[in-house]
């Protein structure tokens, strides 16, 4: 996979990122390569994309801007961007992510790249829309009102896209929370795509 390093990222971060990218199944790597998807690894998201400073990403939890996230997929350029540091709102400082968080961010953003690797996107197919709605309708009102599911239950395509990417990431990282507890049919759909 083509990977570009932007700025003075630490050796630790570079190793974690490249090792994680290397662990993706060959089918995923070939699909992304064929579609021209690449990775940019940098120090801070707003250094990589200064125009995004103080802009709120779609579905962001309260108070977050691009300054406080560690990953981004750009559909137009087909670039998966991962940053070593993000702004911790509660303490008003930049922090390095844990190894698990770095890997989860890479897996999630790679999920967006894989989602859009076909004309349109997998998350916009009738099949995925149908099972997403089925899973969505089984989520309790209490859970829908909570903050955790906010990115995944946004209206329109955004909720489906975030759900696809998150579950893809869970499958890659062998983590089962969202797909196991809320979007079981979506999880099976994505597992079938990957098999």
The string of DSSP letters for 101-152 reads: HHHHHHHHHHHHHHHTTSSS-GGGSHHHHHHHHHHHHTS-HHHHHSSTTGGG
Averaged over 43-51, what is the pLDDT?
92
Instruction: Indicate if the pLDDT at residue 150 is higher than 90.
Output: no
Coil/strand/helix, residue 13: helix
pLDDT in tens, 177-190: 887 889 999 999 99
Give the pLDDT confidence score for residue 57 in this predicted structure.
86
Domains in the chain: boundaries = 3-98, 122-194
Distance from C-alpha of 106 to C-alpha of 128, rounded to nearest angstrom: 23
Task: Give the pTM.
Answer: 0.93
Contact by Cβ (8 Å): 118, 107:
no
pLDDT in tens, 14-29: 999 999 999 999 999 9
What is the percent of the chain with per-residue pLDDT over 70, rounded to a whole number? 98
Averaged over 28-46, what is the pLDDT?
94
């Amino acid at each position: 996979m083509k990977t570009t390093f932007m700025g003075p990222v630490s050796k630790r971060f570079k190793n974690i990122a490249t090792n994680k990218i290397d662990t993706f199944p060959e089918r995923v790597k070939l699909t992304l390569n064929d579609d021209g998807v690449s990775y940019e690894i940098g120090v801070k998201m707003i250094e990589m994309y200064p125009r995004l400073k103080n802009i709120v990403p779609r579905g962001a939890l309260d108070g977050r801007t691009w300054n406080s996230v560690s990953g981004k997929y750009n559909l137009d350029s087909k670039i998966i961007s991962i940053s070593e540091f993000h702004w911790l709102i509660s303490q008003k400082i930049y922090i390095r992510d844990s190894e698990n968080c770095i890997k989860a961010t890479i897996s999630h953003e790679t999920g967006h790249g894989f989602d859009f690797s076909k004309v349109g996107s997998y998350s916009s197919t009738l099949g995925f829309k149908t099972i997403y709605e089925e899973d969505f309708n089984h989520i309790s009102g209490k859970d829908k009102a909570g903050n955790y599911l906010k990115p995944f239950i946004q209206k329109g395509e955004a909720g489906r896209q975030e759900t696809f990417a998150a579950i893809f990431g869970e499958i890659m990282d062998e983590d089962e929370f969202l797909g196991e507890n809320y979007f079981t049919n979506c999880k099976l759909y994505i597992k079938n795509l990957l098999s």
